[in-house]
């Protein structure tokens, strides 16, 4: 699968007093890339919660912080190796600084499909599984 790439710029609000990206912001950057990847596949999360009664939640995430991202850095964030099952999806993501192609962080995660009305696991609608499995 070719990776989906989403760009983000680091702003003041993303950094600590030293101009280094605060560790929790990496999670936000990874999340935004996954959201934009879904949107590019035609899967709009607010719409599927309302119309399909499903949403996605992160079940597990491993992050390796490799190099500091800093104020004004432009970052490429990838989504790749998506494996969609009945209820679970697994992803790999990389965050790379554009200026020097330095790997900043990488993540492996599992998301689950839940019913929006009671947060219990449910099978992913077939059309969503088909779209996210498509290259």
Separation CA 118–CA 103 (nearest Å):
39
62 included as an active-site residue: no
Q: Which of 16, 64, 72, 83 is catalytic?
A: 16
CA distance linking residue 78 with residue 34, whole number of Å? 8
Nearest CA-CA partner of 57 in 113, 19, 7: 113
Which is nearest to 118 in space by CA: 39, 42, 57, 35?
57
* Cβ-based neighbours of 47, under 8 Å, separated by 6 or more: none
Q: Which residues are known catalytic residues?
A: 16
């Amino acid at each position: 699968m070719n990776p989906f790439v989403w760009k983000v710029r680091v702003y003041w609000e993303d950094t600590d007093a030293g101009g280094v990206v605060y560790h929790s912001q990496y999670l936000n950057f990874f999340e935004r890339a996954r959201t934009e990847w879904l949107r590019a596949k035609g899967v709009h999360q607010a719409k599927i919660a309302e119309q399909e009664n499903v949403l996605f939640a992160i079940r597990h995430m491993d992050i390796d912080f490799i190099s500091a991202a800093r104020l004004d850095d432009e970052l490429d964030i990838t989504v790749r190796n998506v494996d969609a099952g009945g209820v679970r999806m697994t992803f790999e993501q990389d965050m790379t600084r554009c200026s020097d192609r330095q790997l900043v962080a990488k993540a492996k995660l599992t998301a689950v499909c839940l019913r929006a009305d009671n947060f219990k696991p449910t099978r992913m609608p077939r059309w969503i599984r088909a779209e996210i499995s498509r290259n």
